[in-house]
Amino acid sequence: AFFRYMRQPIKQELICKWIEPEQLSNPKKSCNKTFSTMHELVTHVTVEHVGGPEQSNHICFWEECPREGKPFKAKYKLVNHIRVHTGEKPFPCPFPGCGKVFARSENLKIHKRTHTGEKPFKCEFEGCDRRFANSSDRKKHMHVHTSDKPYLCKMCDKSYTHPSSLRKHMKVN
């Protein structure tokens, strides 16, 4: 019976930590409404706090947000950003058995390439035919063509062109 109890999902309370602009003077007081589902929390934040298209300033007032009042240029960018605080990940991978979920559609798009094998980013170095699923992997690869070795071992004076080479070195030493 104890193990059955331990396997039960823990009911997590989701709390809105939005501070209304008029509450910004001390003491700061968050909304603190609680929700039992992510959908309820996201709907609440979007409807009650973010406001409609008539809002001209798209500022995140989530408690302790590192943006510190810096506005977004569009409402959808604020809505996307709020997922950092809520943990919402509305974009599931459609491939059977994968189970990964993402906060941004762009990250899902990049992830799907691990299933499809698509590699749209070609190395721009003359004579190199390597291709990559994303631009950051291509950028890491570019160090191979230069004398640039930005991945430094903190234990000795060795440096590497790729982070995986440094990791391999660290395991051995």
Instruction: Tell me, yes or no, if the two domains 2-86 and 121-172 fold the same way.
Output: yes
Second CATH level (architecture) for the domain 2-86? 2-Layer Sandwich (3.30)
Q: What value does the mean pLDDT of the chain take?
A: 86
Contact present, 50 and 60 (Cβ < 8 Å): no
Would you tell me how many other CB atoms lie within 10 Å of the CB of residue 72?
Answer: 16
- As beta bridge partners, residue 72 has 58
Task: Look at the chain and count its residues.
Answer: 173
Please, which pLDDT band fits residue 146 given cuts at 50, 70 and 90? Answer: confident
The whole-model pTM stands at 0.65
Domain ranges in the chain?
A: 2-86, 121-172
| Predicted pLDDT of residue 150 | 84
Q: Which has the higher per-residue pLDDT, 150 or 3?
A: 150
Q: Does domain 121-172 have CATH number 3.30.160.60?
A: yes
Q: What confidence score (pLDDT) does residue 55 get?
A: 66
Reported as a single tens digit per residue, the pLDDT across 21-69 is 775 566 678 899 999 999 999 999 998 888 766 667 899 999 999 998 8
Q: Which of these, 100, 91, 82, lies nearest to 14 by C-alpha position? A: 82
